[in-house]
Every structure is written in C-alpha cells, then in structure tokens.
C-alpha cells in the first residue's frame, strides 16, 4: 500500500513494468521490491531447497530472498535482488526457482519431504550405486540446482571497466560516511564517496531525531548536495565497493545503466579499480534476524526495511504490522512510524520484561513469537508470554535482533573480525587493512553522535596519515544514546526456524552438523550450505555460528567466523570481463601491407598479435594447397614478395655493441665486417635455445638485429635484463625499430632483377654478395638492403620507413607479377623453409639445445656467452637425446602430421617406446611428397632408417625414412648465387 | 600491489613481469663448478617473509628492478634499478 | 622513376568526435629517440640545450621550445619531437629514427580524462599529471607513451601496427562516457 513519499516526491512519474507477465505500476525511483509491496504483492520467489514461498526480507543489497530475473534476450540477468533493481518503463521481471506458476510451484513437494532432506541429504543419498553418478544423479541434481538462468545468447548491452584515483575513499554514504567525506573534502583532499544504494542516508531516519537543526533523515541528502558542489569530491551512487586488495586498491561495481532500459551505448555496469591513498569504511550495519519457527513467510521482514520502505517510498508493507524486537532502536523506529499515515495498528513483541513503549503502539513485553501461519504469506503469528500462547492477526512482521556491523571489507586481506562480548557484535580487527579506517555502525558505534564523531575522526586519521594537518570542525548536535538491547539468536520452540533463507538452512541443520562432527564453522558451512547462496550469508552467518557455538558448548569468540572473501556483492562476469569482447580481447597488429593483402583476397592468419597472409588465391584455385604449391614453385622459378616486417628488429649502438652481441649470441659478432650480416644463435642461461636470427653491421658501432616474430618481445626483455642487470659495464644502447621499418623479402632467381627495377642505383653481387647489407635508395627514399634468404633462393630484404610500406609493397608485387612472380603467403613461406631445413619456433620451442638442432659448432670456445656453462652439461650433449632430423614418407603418398609421435616399426606404440615427435610438415611441390622436421632419439645417427610415425589423435600411421633435415639444394648454391 | 619504480613512481603490477629471485643477477664465473651453476639456475629458497626479486617494468620505462617485498604481508618495501645494484 | 606515396598510420580512422571529446591524428613530424651513452646524460643534456634549447628530460617530463619538444620515454631514453637531431648530439647519445614507428593520437575535450580512465591505469588528474608530463604506461593492452601538453588535451603514442586497435578501444570508451551525459546517468567527477 502506498501512502506518500518523501524521497521520490508526490509528483514522481508512474512507471509500468511486468512481474511474471502481470502489469505492475510503480513510481519513478521505486525498486522492484518497493513497487511490488506498494501493490500488495508479497510472494516474489521460492526458496532454494524446500521451494518455500518467499517474500522480501530487506531493503538493500543484502537481500537473500527476493531474487528475480530481469530483462530479456542477451540482456537477461538472473538472481537480481528485487531490493536493488530499480524499475523503468517496460522492465520485465520474473520470479525464479519454481516449476509451474509461482503460487503453485510443483517443486514445493520438497517442503513436505523435509524430514528426509536435512543437512547433508545430497551427500548421503547420491552415493550409490556408483554407475548412477553421471547418468542419473548429475542430470537430476543439475535440473533441481541453481536459481535463475542466463539466456544463453551472446551480445546485448555492454559494460565497461575503469580506473579511479583519490586521496580518500569513503565507503558508504550514511551519516558516518558523509561526515568523513565532508571532513576530508574540507581539508582539500580528493575524495571519492561510494554508496551502494541510489540514495544517501543509510539507516538514518525519523527515529534518530535531529542532527543540528535538520531532521536526521534529511541531514544526509542536504550534506550530499553540498559535497556534490565541491570540485575535489566525486560522489558515486549505485556503486558497491566489492573488494579490498593490497596497497589501497579497491574494486567497485557501479550499476551505471541498470536502472534504465538497455541501450546500445550506456554501459550496464562499470567495474571500477579504485586506488586510494587512505580509506574510511562506513558500511554501517545489517539488522539481525531472529530464528523462530516459521520465520520465513512472505510478509516477514527486517524492521529497518519496513522503515526504509515507509520513509523512502511511502510504502506501508502491511495492514496489521507486528514487530518482534529485542532492542530499543526498533522501539524508536516503531514510535516514529506510528506517527505516520498507514501505521495505525502496530504491535511490538519484546522478550525483555522491562521493555517500555516509546510511542503510540501496543507493546507485549516479556514475550516471544513462536510460530506463524499463512500459506503464501503471513496471516497470523503465535506469541508466547510466560506460559500462555496467544494468536495475533498480522500480515507483516518486523524482525529486530540487534545489528551486525558490516565488517566484510576489513577481512579481505586475511584479518578476522573480533567478537565484542559486551556489545554482542563482531568488530573490525584493529589495523585489519592498512590505511582503511572503520567508523560508525560498521565499527560497532550505533548512536547518531557517535557515528558523526567517528566519521570525522576516521577522516582526520586518514588525512594525518597523508601528512596533512587538518582541523576538526565542530560536530552538529545529535543524540548520543545507542539504546540498549538483548541478544536473542533463536527462540526455544518446536518447528523449523530458519537461519539462511536463501539456502533453506534451519537451526536444526546447524545442530545436526555439530552432532555429526562438523564442528568447525568452515565445515558446518559446507555441510549445511549456510552462507553459500548469492547473499553469502549476510543475514545468517552470525546467527548460524552463534547456534553452532551453543551446540558445541563453545563461545562465539572461539567458534569464529568463516572467511570473508571478495566480492561483497555479486559481480557479473560481464562487468569483470568488460571490454574484452571481440576486438577488445587483444590488440591487432597490422602490417603496412595489410590493406593491399586483403585486396588480393588473402585469408589472414594470426602470428602472435600480428596478422599475416596465409596464401593468395589465384583464379581457378579452390584449395589453399593449390595456391601454396603455385607460390612455392613461383619463388623457386621466378620471384616472390612477402612482408617480413613482423620479425623483431632491434637497433644496437655504442662502442661496446659488438661485445654485447658476443655476450648474447653463441657465436662471434665483434669480428663481423661492416656491410655484412651473420646468422646468430641465442641461448637462455640454462643452455636451451631462446631465438635465432641475423644481425647486420651497418657501421662499426651500429648493428641491427632481427628476431623471430614469436620471440621479439622475449628477446627485447632478455636484452634489457642482460644490459641492465648483468653487463652495466658495457656502453651500449638499443631500441626496437620493428615498427619503424616496413621490410619485404624479395626471393627467387629473378629477385635481383626486380630489386634493380626499384633501386636508384643498381646492385651487383660484388656490392651485395650473399649476407651483404647496406644503405640504398628505393624510388629516391633512403632504405636498407640485406641479402639474406629464408627460402634457399637468391633473396633480398628491403626495408623502408613504414610510411612507404604500403606503396612499396604494391609496387614490388606488381613488378614481380610482370616477371611471372607475385605475392606469397605463410603457407608457401613455411614449405620453402622446410625444404631447406630452416628452423622456426616449432623447432626451437624452448626445450631444445644447440646440440639438438645440430648447431653445437656455433658455440664459441673463445668467449663467454649466456648459456655457455649450462649448454656444456653432459646431459645436454647426450647422443640419445631427441635431435633434429628430416623425415620423408616411404610411400610418396604417405601423410605426415605435426605433433605425431615416432616409434620403431617393431615396437608397440606406447609411451615407454616413444622415440620422438614431428614438429613441422609440408607438401613439397618440388619433391612431390610430404616432408617433415622432427626430433628423434639419436637423430642424425639414424639417417636411412625406417621408423613409424603415429598420429593417434587423427588415426594416421605412416612409415617414414629418416633423412638429413635439408631436402632441397643441400649445397646452398641457389642462395649464394 | 604497487611497485615503486624509481623512474615512474608507484605503478600497478599489471605493468610489470616478474623473473624471479635476484639470484639471476649474480651470474657465476664461466669457470665456476657445475654445482654453482646449478644453484644459480635452479635452486631457490621459498621464503615466508622478506625477499628480493627481479621485476621488469615492461609496460612502463623498461627498467629492470630489484624489488624488496614480503611474501607474507605482500608489503613492497623498496625497489632499485637493477643496474644500480649491479654496479 | 615511380614515387612512393607516404601513408599515415591513422588514415581513414580519424577524426572522430563523440560527445565532447575528439580524437584526431597528430602530426609530430620527426620523432627521434635520444639514448645518452653510459654516463653521458649530463653531456647529452648540455648538447641538447645548445642545439635545440631543450634539456634531456627528467623521468615523466615533456619540454617544449618553439615547435620542438622533447619527452622522457623510458630508462635512458627521450623522444625528440618535431626536428632532426643536431649531428653534434651523436657524440653523447645514440640517435635512432622513430618517426614512422608510432601512431600519434590526440584526444581533446572536457571529458578526455574520463575517457582515458577507461583504459589507462595511471592517474592523469592535473595534480598527478600536470601540464608538461610524459608517461610510459598502458592503453588497454597496448604499451604507450602519453604526453600532456596542457588543458584537456592528451597525446597518445602507440605502436604504428596497433593504430586501429587503439582507435577501437578509445572509440568504445568515448561512446560509453558520452552516453552517461546523454542518458542522464550520473557522471563521476
Ligand atoms: Zn618504470
């Protein structure tokens, strides 16, 4: 029933949404919960295990009961708290966890079967027979388990991630947090004030009297408006701080657009990473329920929630409201409500015999609620006073068992809260999180004046920790009386009394766990599933461990709490992974020839982050193999052009550049003449191959190194480590120039002819012999030319500043085509290098040595280099190691596959008989059969032997002959020219 | 975690990679016995408490750092340029 | 003789305006890495000062003299922008041409810092990143150099090959920030 609204305003617009298909009208600013209550809809869902009817317990993000599914299609979100979700025109809300209509759930049979479904039911029942585990039990349990479901559709409105920085992060915009934010802002600090709700003020209301000359309930909003006007303050409403991490890092989830219809641009949620120098924790306290039989019916809710619905939304959640309260605070709340429209018939049941009514309501002191009635919603409660029982008509029952400080965030770095016996509360451990200062209700302080005082003090502490000298402004006058209360965890009465409403855990389940030996609070939790629902036991953890302490004869202090872990409220994976969909997953590195390559219809393949052409389909070609074969023949017969800009290029300069390369490479570079390039092998310090490539000497103190595409980043980091940490004595400077130069390989018998058609000054083999290099001009542009070959043909690599890459690539390919050649891709490049036995990272994959690849001779004996000592260990020089060989099929039609294992033909193909594996394969159009590189035990000693290649994954067995790992032009005459 | 890079100031660990204990800086002489190389390459303590590690500010200034941190409290107590330590 | 036509890393991709933020391609002209030889930072700074009127920058700094600028760009590394280094510098530093290595994006407008807060894990607020700052950090997953010449303008240098990914990520962030204003959602800051 709606009577009025102070916060939304009387003029708030009508908003229509649907609940289970039924049209419901609320007001702008309503949550789903407040709108449903305004329309007298109390039944909103079913409990997890017994499918008991469930209503709305709270008015905040701690809600265990009212979990609903909102939205449609890819924007559908399950397990949304109706107490948090704000309504908008057209919002679709459906209830969860029932088969058939909500009011006639077929699964409610579980509630009748409850004597058989106690704690540990699933563990005990679905044990035997073993053959039923996967076929019967798992599908059965999976169907019954879980709450709401995702749509299974991809896409939908996006979310985002963002960073924020501040001096002081204030968590919570109740009176404590607002006082802290005001204090910090006044001192000039950069402040972020984050509040989970869509409105400031927390639990403060009319029951709290005056703060200064303002009504307590209005103080927060007035001060928040002031804070918003201060430039160094950032107010973040609808933002829950979800986690605390090292060094002042906080995670927070903002409901950026969840209160609005999904649109294409506005993020649904923002996952914030906040870095704060200091922080004030002002998360308040959650009201504590009381366990008594039948305490879970729709209509039973926290007294603080009744007050919030009345204050914030003008909603009266029942016509006959009773409250079961053990503390003065609840009496103040009821006294304040009693003055409002719609709250005429209020009854308070208080177990304290000396309780005194504080206002215009009926008080039954020295009494307890011991039972409830009403199938789909509360109708009547049973009260026991002394030895007599009486029934009272009630459609709404408030619960007030005291307060549990929200200490969660103080525990995220591993601290445990401390039990305060006098106040019967868990409080933050002192210094639990460095730089995080708890204040107010989360610190156990419940009076209005106390909260203001602590909020200010925490901010002053934070400011001083930052080296500021803040002044302490006078605090407004407010009540300093926290009120008194009595602790009542559970009423002694017969019947099921709920602790965890979401997961249907009763006091009996906890006692049973204790009886069966699960006496540790962590074991009890897992055995009963208490606290394991989406609300993570916010309203049940403390009560459950109190019952456990009682059942095991221990104190609450020694029983302890379970571990509080992030996130404080559920965080969607969509928010955490925001931005990583599609193109956001990883940067794409595109070469300067990318557009021209796409224009020629080449499919692209990924090489690390780079995109490179796979092959260039020509007219009439229908398979990649046809294109690849043609491109290989083309390079061997005329000339081909390929972009090799993706290889790492590192410019190395300085008087010790040669000495630096000598230390990095196994072979010697200080003796390399200017104008020449040399192949180099680089090891890790553990003696295994890291990378290979050529380095060229452009000037006496100037080299340019190439690395493989795959290892460019690793080699750069390795060089930086070597220069900075191992050899700071060397005067050498280096920098990646991979992006500066567009570099193209021009390969084939006609490559010099092609080069001379673009170079300003023609070259010959005297000026540019094999492995020669130097500065040239191409179409008037200064360029670098290297005569190096990865194909075994005469080849040149021409490098120009990247701005000319697109133009030069198009020009080179066009000219190659005139000569009967053209562009070639990675498939052909791979076959060309395989025919020559040139290795790539398929071979130097991190577990092979120079010895394994037949390059032991490149390990200089005259100098020290990285990896030298380790490479000489006997185990790395064992002839029985898997060593590089070539393979060819005995039958020319035989298929070779990369990853296949090698066996002696007579051995069964079992792991213990394994002889090695295939690393790279290709179809050689020049040889007419497949060829492969492989690592084989005793490798080169077995040339001429036949072995069996077995690819168990693809079901391929091929008899192969071991051959030297060079299949074509063994003498190398073609490249040398 | 924040690492106080001497060049860039405190930065989030997402900008760094960790190589391991600072042992990697102290390379034995080429003539050292195999045991010394074995210790250098493979044998590490697993300290519960203070330790010194090599971190690379790879998405920042490119400096290699020797970072002092506590494996129990996660507190980072210092960071120096590796080349200053090596000298 | 044919002529090679130069193409810029961001051709066809910019300018883009979303909300009050505009992304354009900057024209830095020359970019030269200046890496002082071992122990020669002072000497390099003196030579820079006499040749270009600029010092070798301390970590995090960007200096300007006329149309020439110099930005700290890493350990022992600065980028001289807008000119070719004087040959006298070679005695004190390695000089490496980077003019074609970087895509140079310029982001300006009132909400620029909010856009960058979606992608950059360092504080770019005026107090932490004043006018004349240079930062090596990340733009999403991309290594970058961020220059702040002042006002609401930030220049972002990313690898040339990653230009389109940088534009993609920035566009997405610009869209999300602008939507907050349009949709009436709260705007942080
Ligand atoms: Zn750094």
pLDDT band at A144 (very low <50, low <70, confident <90, very high): low
Contact between residue C70 and residue C33 where contact means Cβ atoms under 8 Å apart: no
Best of C75, C77, C78 to mutate (most B CBs within 10 Å, chain B): C75
- Cα–Cα distance, C45 to C89 (Å, whole number): 9
Percentage, residues of chain A above pLDDT 90: 88
Give the A:C interface size as CB pairs under 8 Å.
166
DSSP C126-174: TTTS-TTEEEEEEETTEEEEEEEEETTEEEEEEEGGGHHHHHHHHHHHH
Together in a domain, A415 and A396: no
Q: Which residues of B touch C135 (CB under 8 A)?
A: 8
Touching A: B residues 27-56, CB under 8 Å: 27-28, 30, 32, 34, 37, 40-41, 54, 56
Q: Which residues of C touch A190 (CB under 8 A)?
A: 125, 127
Contact between residue A640 and residue A634 where contact means Cβ atoms under 8 Å apart: yes
- Cα–Cα distance, A323 to A338 (Å, whole number): 12
Dihedral pair phi/psi, residue A411, rounded to 5°? -100, -5
Calculate how close chain B gets to C56, using CA atoms only, in Å: 14
Of B30, B74, B87, the CB nearest to A864: B30
What is the reported pTM?
Answer: 0.95
Mean pLDDT of the residues in chain C: 94
CATH label of the domain that carries residue A81: 3.10.20.440
Q: What is the mean pLDDT of residues B30-52?
A: 95
In the reported structure, the alpha carbon of residue A426 is separated from the centroid of ligand 1 by a whole-number distance in angstroms of 42
Q: What is the mean pLDDT of residues C115-140?
A: 97
Q: Which residues of A touch B30 (CB under 8 A)?
A: 864, 868-869
Residues around ion ligand 1, judged by CB within 5 A, are: B 5, 7-8, 57, 60-61
Would you state the torsion angle of the CA atoms of residues A663, A664, A668, A672, taken in this order, to the nearest 10 degrees?
Answer: -110
Q: What is the mean pLDDT of residues C65-88?
A: 97
Contact between residue A786 and residue A775 where contact means Cβ atoms under 8 Å apart: no
- Cα–Cα distance, B43 to C138 (Å, whole number): 34
Q: Do C136 and B14 lie within an 8 Å CB cutoff?
A: no
Give A957-967 pLDDT, tens digit per residue.
999 999 999 99
A869 touches chain B (CB under 8 A): yes
- Cα–Cα distance, A162 to A252 (Å, whole number): 10
Touching B: A residues 476-495, CB under 8 Å: none
Q: What is the mean pLDDT of residues A764-788?
A: 96
In this structure, of A162-171, A561-570, A917-926, C63-72, the range with the lowest mean pLDDT score is A561-570
Q: How many domains does chain A have?
A: 6
Q: Do A728 and B2 lie within an 8 Å CB cutoff?
A: no
Calculate how close chain C gets to A87, using CA atoms only, in Å: 14
Q: Do B64 and A724 lie within an 8 Å CB cutoff?
A: yes
Domain boundaries, chain B: 2-28+40-86
pLDDT at residue A472, rounded to an integer = 86
- Cα–Cα distance, C45 to C92 (Å, whole number): 9
Best of C1, C2, C33, C74 to mutate (most A CBs within 10 Å, chain A): C2
pLDDT at residue C181, rounded to an integer = 76
pLDDT band at A140 (very low <50, low <70, confident <90, very high): low
Looking at the domain assignment, is residue A603 inside a domain?
no
User: b vs e for C134-162, b when ≥16 Cβ sit within 10 Å of the residue's Cβ?
Assistant: bbbbbbbbbbbbbbbeeeebbbbbbbbbb
Of residues A564, A534, A568, the one with CA closest to residue A251: A568
Domain boundaries, chain C: 16-183
The helix/strand/coil state of A349 is strand
- Cα–Cα distance, A65 to A500 (Å, whole number): 9
Position A940 pLDDT exceeds 50: yes
From residue A65, how far is each of A33, A42, A44, A147, B18 by CA, in Å?
A: 11, 11, 8, 11, 45
Together in a domain, A374 and A429: no
Strand segments, DSSP code E, in A362-503 are: 362-365, 367-373, 380-385, 388-393, 396-400, 403-405, 418-420, 425-427, 436-438, 498-500
- Cα–Cα distance, A349 to A353 (Å, whole number): 10
- Cα–Cα distance, A75 to C102 (Å, whole number): 39
Position A139 pLDDT exceeds 80: no
Q: What is the mean pLDDT of residues A900-915?
A: 97
Query: What count of residues does chain A have?
Result: 977
Question: What is the token pair recorded at A664?
Answer: 């990095």
Mean pLDDT of the residues in chain A: 94
Residue with tokens 């922080």: A279
Of residues A901, A898, A908, the one with CA closest to residue A930: A898
For chain C, how big is the Rg over CA atoms in Å? 18
Give A610-664 pLDDT, tens digit per residue.
999 999 999 999 999 999 999 999 999 999 999 999 999 999 999 999 999 999 9
Q: What is the mean pLDDT of residues A605-610?
A: 96
Of C141, C165, C186, the CB nearest to A237: C186
Position C183 pLDDT exceeds 70: no
Together in a domain, A679 and A802: yes
Burial of A908 (0-12, 13-18, 19+ CB in 10 A): exposed
Contact between residue A446 and residue A285 where contact means Cβ atoms under 8 Å apart: yes
Last residue of a domain, one of A86, A116, A146: A116
A725: which residues sit within 8 A by CB, 6+ positions away? B24, B25, B54, B64, B82, B83, B85, B86
Together in a domain, A681 and A798: yes
Mean pLDDT of the residues in chain B: 95
Calculate how close chain C gets to B10, using CA atoms only, in Å: 9
- Cα–Cα distance, C141 to A572 (Å, whole number): 22
Q: Do A720 and B41 lie within an 8 Å CB cutoff?
A: no
CATH label of the domain that carries residue A498: 1.10.10.1100
Residue A74, Cα to own-chain centre: how many angstroms? 20
Together in a domain, A810 and A742: yes
Nearest CA in chain B to A869: B30
pLDDT band at A156 (very low <50, low <70, confident <90, very high): confident
Residue B73, Cα to own-chain centre: how many angstroms? 17
Give the A:B interface size as CB pairs under 8 Å.
63
B9 touches chain C (CB under 8 A): yes
Q: What is the mean pLDDT of residues C82-98?
A: 97
Q: What is the mean pLDDT of residues A919-948?
A: 97
Touching C: A residues 639-668, CB under 8 Å: 651, 653-655
Contact between residue C36 and residue C43 where contact means Cβ atoms under 8 Å apart: yes
pLDDT at residue B15, rounded to an integer = 97
In the reported structure, the alpha carbon of residue C122 is separated from the centroid of ligand 1 by a whole-number distance in angstroms of 12
In the CATH hierarchy, which top-level class contains the domain B2-28+40-86? alpha beta
Position A523 pLDDT exceeds 60: yes
Subunits that touch chain C (at least 3 Cβ pairs < 8 angstroms)? A, B
Taking each helix axis as running N to C, give the angle between helix A507-515 and helix A541-552, from 0 to 180 degrees, rounded to the nearest 10: 40
Expressed in angstroms, the distance from the first to the final Cα of chain C is 58
Position A534 pLDDT exceeds 90: no
- Cα–Cα distance, A269 to A160 (Å, whole number): 6
B4 touches chain C (CB under 8 A): no
Q: Judge if the upstream peptide bond of residue B15 is cis by omega within 30 degrees of 0.
A: no
Residue A68, Cα to own-chain centre: how many angstroms? 24
Q: Do A685 and B27 lie within an 8 Å CB cutoff?
A: yes
Looking at the domain assignment, is residue A142 inside a domain?
no
Expressed in angstroms, the distance from the first to the final Cα of chain B is 28
Question: What is the token pair recorded at A153?
Answer: 């559709």
* Architecture in CATH of C16-183: 2-Layer Sandwich (3.30)
Q: What is the mean pLDDT of residues A467-486?
A: 93
Predicted-complex ipTM score = 0.98
Of B7, B12, B61, the CB nearest to C121: B12
Together in a domain, A172 and A281: yes
More confident residue, A847 or A142: A847
The helix/strand/coil state of A664 is helix
Structural domain boundaries, residue A279: 160-286+405-465
Percentage, residues of chain A above pLDDT 70: 97
- Cα–Cα distance, A784 to A768 (Å, whole number): 12
B81 touches chain C (CB under 8 A): yes
Q: Which residues of C touch A651 (CB under 8 A)?
A: 94, 96
pLDDT band at A10 (very low <50, low <70, confident <90, very high): low
Give A263-311 pLDDT, tens digit per residue.
889 999 999 999 999 999 999 999 999 999 999 999 999 999 999 999 9
B54 touches chain C (CB under 8 A): no
CATH label of the domain that carries residue A345: 3.50.50.60
Looking at the domain assignment, is residue A596 inside a domain?
no
In this structure, of A106-120, A277-291, B27-41, the range with the lowest mean pLDDT score is A106-120
Together in a domain, A332 and A395: yes
Give A535-585 pLDDT, tens digit per residue.
899 999 999 999 999 999 999 999 998 889 999 999 999 999 999 988 999
pLDDT band at A7 (very low <50, low <70, confident <90, very high): low
More confident residue, A702 or A5: A702
pLDDT at residue A1, rounded to an integer = 83
Q: What is the dihedral sign for C-alpha A476, A480, A483, A489? A: positive
Contact between residue A842 and residue A920 where contact means Cβ atoms under 8 Å apart: yes
pLDDT at residue C189, rounded to an integer = 34
pLDDT at residue C27, rounded to an integer = 80
A881: which residues sit within 8 A by CB, 6+ positions away? A849, A851, A852, A937, A939
């Amino acid at each position: 029933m709606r009577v009025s609204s102070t916060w939304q305003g009387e003029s708030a617009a009508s908003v229509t949404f649907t609940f289970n298909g039924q049209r419901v009208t609320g007001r702008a600013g309503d949550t789903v919960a407040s709108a449903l209550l305004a329309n007298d809809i109390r039944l909103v869902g079913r409990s997890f295990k017994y499918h008991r009817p469930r209503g709305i317990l709270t008015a905040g993000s701690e809600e265990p009961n009212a979990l609903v599914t909102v939205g449609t299609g890819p924007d559908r979100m399950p397990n949304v708290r109706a107490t948090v979700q704000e309504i908008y025109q057209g919002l679709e809300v459906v209830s969860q966890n029932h088969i058939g209509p909500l009011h006639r759930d077929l699964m409610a049979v579980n509630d009748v079967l409850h004597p058989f479904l106690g704690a540990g039911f699933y563990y005990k029942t679905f044990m035997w027979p073993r053959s039923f585990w996967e076929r019967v039990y798992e599908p059965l349990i999976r169907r019954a388990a879980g709450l709401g479901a995702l749509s299974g559709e991809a896409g939908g409105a996006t979310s985002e991630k963002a960073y924020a920085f501040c001096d002081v992060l204030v968590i919570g915009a109740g009176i404590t947090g607002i006082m802290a934010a005001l204090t910090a802002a006044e001192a000039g600090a950069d402040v972020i004030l984050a509040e989970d709700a869509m409105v400031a003020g927390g639990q403060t209301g009319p029951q709290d009297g005056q703060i200064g000359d303002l009504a307590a309930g209005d103080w927060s909003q007035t001060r928040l408006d002031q804070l918003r006007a201060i430039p160094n303050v950032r107010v973040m409403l609808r933002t829950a701080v979800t986690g605390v991490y090292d060094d002042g890092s906080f995670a927070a989830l903002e409901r950026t657009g969840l209160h609005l219809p999904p649109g294409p641009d506005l993020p649904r949620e923002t996952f914030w990473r906040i870095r704060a120098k200091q922080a004030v924790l002002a998360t308040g306290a959650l009201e504590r329920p009381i366990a008594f039989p039948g305490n879970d019916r729709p209509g039973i809710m926290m007294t603080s929630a009744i007050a919030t619905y009345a204050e914030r939304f003008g909603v009266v959640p029942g016509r006959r409201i009773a409250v079961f309260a053990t503390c003065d605070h609840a009496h103040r709340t009821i006294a304040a409500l009693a003055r409002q429209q719609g709250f005429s018939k209020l009854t308070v049941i208080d177990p304290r015999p000396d309780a005194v009514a504080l206002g215009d309501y009926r008080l039954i002191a020295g009494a307890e609620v011991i039972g409830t009635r009403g199938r789909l919603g509360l109708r009547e409660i049973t009260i026991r006073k002394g030895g007599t029982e009486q029934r009272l008509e009630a459609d709404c029952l408030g619960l007030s068992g005291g307060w549990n400080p929200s200490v969660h965030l103080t525990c995220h770095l591993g601290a445990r809260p401390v039990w305060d016996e006098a106040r019967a509360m868990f409080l933050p451990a002192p210094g639990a999180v460095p730089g995080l200062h708890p204040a107010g209700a989360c610190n156990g302080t419940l009076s209005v004046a106390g909260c203001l005082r602590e909020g200010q003090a925490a901010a002053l502490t934070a400011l001083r920790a930052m080296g500021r000298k803040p002044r302490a402004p006078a605090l407004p006058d407010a009540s300093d009386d926290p009120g008194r209360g009595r602790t009542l965890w559970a009423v002694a009465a017969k019947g099921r009394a709920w602790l965890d409403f979401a997961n249907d855990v009763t006091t009996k389940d906890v006692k049973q766990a204790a009886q069966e030996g699960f006496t540790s609070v962590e074991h009890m939790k897992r055995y009963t599933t208490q606290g394991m629902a989406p609300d993570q036991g916010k309203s049940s953890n403390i009560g459950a461990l109190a019952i456990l302490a009682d059942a095991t004869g221990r104190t609450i202090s020694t029983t302890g709490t379970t571990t509080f872990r992030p996130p404080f409220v559920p965080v969607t994976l969509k928010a955490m992974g925001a931005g990583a969909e599609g193109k956001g997953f990883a940067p794409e590195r595109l070469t300067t020839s990318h557009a021209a390559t796409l224009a020629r219809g080449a499919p692209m393949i990924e090489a690390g982050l780079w995109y490179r052409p796979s092959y260039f389909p020509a007219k009439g070609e229908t398979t990649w193999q046809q294109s690849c074969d043609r491109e290989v023949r083309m390079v061997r017969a005329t000339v081909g052009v390929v972009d090799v800009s993706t290889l790492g290029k590192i410019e190395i300069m300085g008087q010790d550049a040669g000495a630096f390369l000598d230390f990095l490479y196994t072979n010697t570079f200080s003796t390399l003449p200017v104008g020449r390039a040399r192949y180099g092998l680089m090891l890790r310090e553990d003696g295994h191959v890291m990378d290979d490539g050529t380095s060229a000497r452009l000037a006496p103190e100037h080299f340019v190194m190439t690395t493989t595409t795959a290892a460019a980043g690793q080699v750069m980091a390795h060089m930086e480590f070597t220069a900075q940490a191992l050899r700071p004595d060397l005067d050498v400077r280096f920098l990646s120039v991979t992006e500066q130069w567009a570099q193209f390989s021009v390969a084939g018998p006609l490559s010099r002819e092609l080069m001379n058609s673009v170079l300003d000054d023609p070259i010959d083999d005297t000026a540019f012999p094999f492995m020669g290099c130097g500065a040239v001009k191409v179409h008037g542009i200064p360029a670098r030319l290297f005569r190096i070959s990865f194909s075994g043909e005469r080849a040149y690599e021409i490098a120009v500043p990247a701005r000319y890459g697109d133009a030069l690539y198009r020009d080179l390919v066009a000219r190659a085509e005139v000569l009967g050649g053209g562009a070639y891709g990675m498939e052909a490049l791979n076959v060309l290098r395989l025919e020559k036995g040139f290795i790539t990272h398929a071979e130097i994959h991190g577990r092979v040595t120079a010895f394994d690849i037949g390059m032991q001779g490149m390990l200089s004996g005259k100098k020290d280099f990285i990896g030298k000592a380790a490479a000489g260990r006997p185990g790395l020089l064992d002839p029985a190691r898997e060593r590089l060989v070539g393979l060819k099929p005995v039958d020319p039609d035989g298929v070779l596959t990369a990853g296949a294992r090698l066996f002696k033909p007579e051995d069964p193909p079992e792991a213990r008989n394994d002889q090695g594996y295939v690393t790279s394969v290709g179809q050689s159009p020049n040889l007419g059969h497949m060829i492969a590189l492989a690592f084989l035990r005793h490798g080169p000693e077995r040339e001429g032997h036949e072995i069996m290649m077995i690819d168990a994954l693809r079901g391929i067995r091929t008899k192969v002959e071991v051959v030297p790992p060079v299949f074509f032009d063994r003498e190398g005459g073609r490249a040398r020219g | 975690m924040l690492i106080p890079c001497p060049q860039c100031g405190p930065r989030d660990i997402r900008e760094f990679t960790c190589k391991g204990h600072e042992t990697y800086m102290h390379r034995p002489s080429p003539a050292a016995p195999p045991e010394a190389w074995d210790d250098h390459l493979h044998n590490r303590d697993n300290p519960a408490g203070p330790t010194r590690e090599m971190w690379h500010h790879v998405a920042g200034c490119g400096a290699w750092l020797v970072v002092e941190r506590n494996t129990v409290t996660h507190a980072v107590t210092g960071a120096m340029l590796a080349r200053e330590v090596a000298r | 003789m044919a002529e090679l036509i130069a193409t810029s890393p961001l051709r066809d991709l910019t300018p883009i305006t979303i909300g009050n933020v505009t992304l354009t391609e900057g024209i830095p002209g020359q970019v030269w890495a200046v890496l002082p030889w071992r122990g020669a930072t002072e000497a390099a700074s003196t030579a820079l000062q006499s040749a270009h009127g600029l010092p070798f920058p301390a970590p995090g700094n960007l200096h300007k003299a006329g149309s020439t600028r110099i930005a700290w760009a890493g350990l022992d590394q600065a980028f001289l922008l807008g000119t070719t280094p004087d040959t006298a510098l070679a005695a004190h530093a390695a000089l490496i041409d980077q003019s074609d290595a970087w895509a140079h994006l310029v982001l300006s407008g009132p909400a620029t810092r909010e856009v960058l807060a979606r992608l950059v894990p360092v504080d770019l607020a005026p107090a932490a990143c004043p006018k004349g700052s240079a930062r090596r950090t990340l733009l999403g997953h991309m290594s970058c150099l961020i220059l702040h010449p002042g006002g609401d303008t930030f220049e972002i240098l990313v690898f040339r090959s990653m230009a389109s990914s940088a534009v993609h990520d920035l566009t997405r962030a610009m869209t999300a920030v602008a939507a907050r204003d349009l949709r009436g959602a709260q705007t942080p800051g």
